[in-house]
């Protein structure tokens, strides 16, 4: 019986304490089968309520998903322009591919949570290559929007001025409830206007309730503002008693790299990171149009690493020889950046000088793609592999404002040190700050009191929704 116990424990661990369904075929997605042996166990545990809601969602997805009888019926309705039924038995949220990969991962996670809260089925527009990046997350039913979906050609042109746009509908209906349409388009992009932002007000949300097709475009992690809505408050509390674990669990549930990307991740990990005593991730994202590298950024990375004992200082005395060979501790640093300059300088520094602790410091950078690219398969594969590799480290330093870093920190369950955003090409002092939580920051939250219908500071309403460390007007869960 001892044997039985230990194997069932392994099984639990593999399914992340019940977060994942056991219904998948072994081998269909290697990262799902193998990731448990690359990660330390999460310090957090999903609530049993979250686990049961995920299983309920999976059943709904299977009943209403692509190519089911229900799906075909609702698609026919949409195509033929019929008005919708009073209370449809399946409702859909179509997420449209938009923006950089980090942004897409965060908005897709937000969309899934919103679908869960409103009993919608999440269908994903694959854009250029989404199906190349992620395994299917739900057992026995695809999340990919079929390519013959009636209005798929219109996704690109949907915008704030579209007659189906939620904000626009509210504006033209002028106080009364908008008349039903075949579908509603939600514009939750950073440039959204005051009418679009009414999405975050219960009373305005209500007309979406029976609309069978809701199409969403976003480039933001809008979850923190859902926590401020009375309609969802209790449910969210039940799902996530520990508020800072939302994206940690949603991300670990939804986003598994496909086999080719898992190959990139595991080959890199096994070649460069596995043997070190400690793994350090440094994510460098410089929002400057010039190519760099910049001395003030290099100084900042080093100041943050040294001041917080993430990396040891060097000994300027060149004849200083450290302990006997063989038993030195090693730290492997995984540095990610579009440019290779920071990596080269830090690597050389630890080659040219000994460390004061005698530790061996190895610096690695998987790629240096130069600039952000939008249509290239290998570029996106590498970006996803690098976010994932960062999430497998023990300590993490990230850059302000970067969703790339947010994905790594939340997936990894790592409270990062965040490098402050430099102003006027000067190294900030202090160089970085420890994050309050592992959650991503919502960069474009509404500042509106839905009851009073006037402006308010939404970062001061409840203790678990606060302004971000790296963006004073952003909101994050703590
Ligand atoms: P954000 O702009 O930092 O919020 O992150 P996004 O992921 O949304 O967009 C930045 C994009 O630039 C990424 O998706 C990559 O395509 C590229 N990129 C930025 N930094 C890196 C990096 O360190 N490594 C790689 N491979 N790509 C990067």
ipTM comes to 0.99
* Nearest one of 415, 418, 412 to 397, comparing CA atoms: 418
Cα(454) to ligand 1 centroid in Å equals: 36
Using the predicted structure, report yes or no on whether residue 178 has a pLDDT greater than 80: no
CA 469, CA 455: separation in Å to the nearest integer? 22
What fold characterizes domain 259-477? Rossmann fold (3.40.50)
Residues of the chain with CATH 3.40.50.11350: 259-477
Confidence of residue 368 (pLDDT cuts 50, 70, 90): very high
Residues flanking ligand 1, CB < 6 Å? 99-103, 285, 336-338, 367, 369, 372, 379, 382-383, 386, 402-404
CA distance 94 to 144: 9
Q: How far is residue 48's CA from residue 402's CA, in Å, rounded to a whole number?
A: 32
> Would you state the torsion angle of the CA atoms of residues 142, 148, 150, 154, taken in this order, to the nearest 10 degrees?
100
Distance CA 311, CA 306 (A): 5
CB atoms within 10 A of CB 155: 18
Q: Whose CA is nearest to atom 17 of ligand 1?
A: 372
Band the pLDDT of 238: cuts 50, 70, 90: very high
Residue having the nearest C-alpha atom to atom 7 of ligand 1: 102
pLDDT number for residue 3:
40
Mean pLDDT of 307-331: 83
Nearest-atom number in ligand 1 for the CA of 372 is 12
Ligand 1 pocket mutation pick from 98, 100, 393 by most atoms within 8 angstroms of CB: 100
Residue 477 has pLDDT above 80, yes or no: yes
* Closest atom of ligand 1 relative to the 401 alpha carbon: 4
Sign of CA dihedral 369, 372, 374, 380: positive
DSSP strand pairing (448-449 vs 454-455): antiparallel
pLDDT of residue 7 exceeding 70, the answer is no
What spacing in Å lies between the alpha carbon of 455 and ligand 1's midpoint? 34
On average, the pLDDT of the chain sits at 93
For the chain, count helices (H), then strands (E). Answer: 16, 14
More confident residue, 291 or 325: 291
For residue 72, give every residue at least 6 positions away whose Cβ sits within 8 Å of its Cβ, in sequence order, or none.
none
Atom of ligand 1 nearest to the CA of 403: 4
Q: How far is CA 255 from CA 138, 247, 368, in A?
A: 11, 11, 24
Distance CA 404, CA 408 (A): 7
Q: Is the pLDDT of residue 366 over 80?
A: yes
What pLDDT score was predicted for residue 364? 98
Question: 175 pLDDT band (50/70/90 cuts)?
Answer: confident
**Residues whose CB is less than 8 angstroms from the CB of residue 185 and which lie 6 or more positions away in sequence, other chains included:** 158, 162, 164, 165, 166, 214, 215, 216, 217
Which atom of ligand 1 is closest in space to residue 219's alpha carbon?
8
407 Cα nearest atom in ligand 1: 7
3-class secondary structure per residue, 347-398? HHHHHHCCECCCCEEEEECCCCCCCCCCCCHHHHHHHHHHHHHHHCCCEEEE
Angle at 232 between CA 229 and CA 238, to 5 degrees: 130
Pairing of strands 417-419, 395-399: parallel
**Distance (Å) from CA 383 to ligand 1 centroid:** 6
What's the token pair of residue 357?
């602790």
Residue 375: is its pLDDT beyond 90? no
> What distance in angstroms lies between residue 93's CA and the mean position of ligand 1's atoms?
26
Coil vs helix vs strand at 200? helix
Average pLDDT of the residues in 125-147: 96
Written as six digits, the tokens of 307 are 């001041």
Question: In a 3-state reduction of DSSP, which class is residue 188?
Answer: strand
The strand pair at 454-455 and 417-419 is best described as unpaired
Q: Is 360 exposed, middle or buried (0-12, 13-18, 19+ CB in 10 A)?
A: middle
Q: Read out DSSP for 415-433?
A: -PEEEPPPSTT---SS-EE
Q: What angle do CA 472, 246, 400 make, to 5 degrees?
A: 30
Q: How far is the CA of 330 from the centre of ligand 1 (A)?
A: 28
pLDDT digits (tens, 9 = 90+) for 21-37: 999 988 889 999 999 99
Across the range 308-335, mean pLDDT stands at 85
Centroid of ligand 1 to alpha carbon of 175 (angstroms):
42
> How far is CA 298 from each of CA 49, 126, 189, 354, 428, rounded to the nearest angstrom?
45, 37, 33, 19, 12
Contacts of 472 (CB under 8 A, 6+ apart): none
Nearest CA to ligand 1 atom 3: 402
Q: Hey, what's the torsion of the CAs at 406, 472, 229, 184, to 10 degrees?
A: -70
Q: What is the mean pLDDT of residues 239-251?
A: 98
Residue 8 reports pLDDT greater than 80:
no
Burial class (CB in 10 A: 0-12, 13-18, 19+), 11: exposed
Non-local CB neighbours of 251 within 8 Å, separated by 6+ positions = 105, 109, 407, 410, 411
CA of 101 to the centre of ligand 1 (A): 7
Nearest CA to ligand 1 atom 26: 383
User: 422-428 long-range CB contacts below 8 Å, 24 or more apart?
Assistant: 422/296, 422/297, 422/300, 425/294, 425/296, 426/296, 427/296, 427/297, 427/299, 427/300, 427/303, 428/300
Helix (H) or strand (E) holding 291: none
338 Cα to the center of ligand 1, angstroms:
8
Residue located nearest, by CA, to atom 14 of ligand 1: 101
**Predicted local distance difference test score (pLDDT) of residue 435:** 98
b/e map 314-349, b = 16+ CB within 10 Å: bbeeeeeeeeeeeeeeebbbbbbbbbbbbbeebbeb
User: Whole-model pTM?
Assistant: 0.95
For residue 400, the SS3 value is coil
Q: 287 CA to middle of ligand 1, Å?
A: 11
Confidence of residue 173 (pLDDT cuts 50, 70, 90): confident
């Amino acid at each position: 019986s001892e044997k039985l116990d230990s194997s069932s424990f392994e099984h639990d661990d593999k399914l992340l304490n019940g977060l994942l369904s056991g219904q998948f075929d072994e081998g269909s997605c290697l990262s799902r089968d193998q990731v448990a042996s690359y990660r330390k166990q999460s310090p957090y545990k999903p609530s049993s309520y979250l686990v049961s809601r995920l299983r309920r969602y999976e059943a709904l997805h299977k009943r209403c998903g692509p190519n089911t009888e229900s799906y075909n019926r609702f698609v026919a309705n949409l195509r033929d322009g019929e008005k919708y039924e009073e209370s449809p038995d399946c409702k859909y949220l179509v997420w449209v591919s938009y923006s950089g990969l980090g942004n897409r991962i965060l908005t897709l996670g937000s969309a899934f949570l919103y679908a869960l809260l409103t009993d919608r089925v999440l269908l994903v527009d694959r854009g250029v290559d989404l199906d190349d990046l992620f395994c299917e997350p739900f057992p026995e039913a695809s999340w990919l929007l079929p390519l013959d979906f009636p209005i798929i050609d219109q996704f690109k042109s949907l915008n704030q001025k579209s007659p189906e746009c939620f904000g626009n509908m509210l504006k033209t209906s002028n106080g009364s409830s908008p008349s039903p349409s075949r579908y509603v388009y939600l514009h939750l992009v950073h440039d959204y206007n005051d009418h679009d932002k009414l999405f975050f007000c219960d009373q305005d949300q209500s007309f979406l309730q029976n609309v069978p097709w809701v199409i969403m475009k976003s480039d933001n992690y809008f979850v923190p503002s859902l926590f401020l809505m009375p309609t969802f408050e209790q449910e969210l509390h039940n799902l996530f008693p520990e508020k800072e674990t939302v994206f940690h669990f949603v991300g670990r549930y939804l986003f598994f790299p496909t086999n080719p990307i898992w190959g990139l991740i595991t080959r890199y990990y096994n070649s460069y990171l596995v043997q070190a005593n400690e793994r350090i991730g440094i994510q460098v994202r410089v929002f400057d149009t010039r190519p760099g590298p910049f001395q003030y950024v290099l100084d900042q990375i080093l100041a943050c690493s040294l001041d917080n004992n993430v990396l040891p200082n060097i000994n300027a005395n060149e004849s200083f020889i450290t302990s006997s060979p063989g038993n030195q501790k090693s730290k492997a640093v995984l540095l990610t950046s579009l440019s290779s300059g920071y990596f080269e300088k830090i690597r050389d520094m630890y080659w040219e000088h000994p460390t004061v602790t005698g530790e061996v410091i190895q610096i690695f950078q998987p790629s240096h793609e130069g600039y952000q690219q939008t249509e290239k398969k290998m570029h996106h594969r590498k970006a996803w592999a690098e976010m994932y590799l960062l999430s497998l480290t023990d300590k993490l330093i990230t850059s302000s404002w970067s969703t790339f870093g947010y994905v790594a920190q939340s997936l990894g369950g790592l409270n990062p040190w965040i490098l402050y955003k430099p102003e006027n090409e000067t190294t900030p002092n202090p160089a970085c700050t420890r994050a309050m939580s592992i959650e991503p920051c919502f960069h474009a939250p509404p500042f509106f009191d839905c009851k009073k219908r006037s402006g308010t500071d939404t970062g001061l309403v409840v203790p678990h929704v606060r302004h971000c460390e790296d963006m004073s007007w952003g909101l994050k869960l703590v």
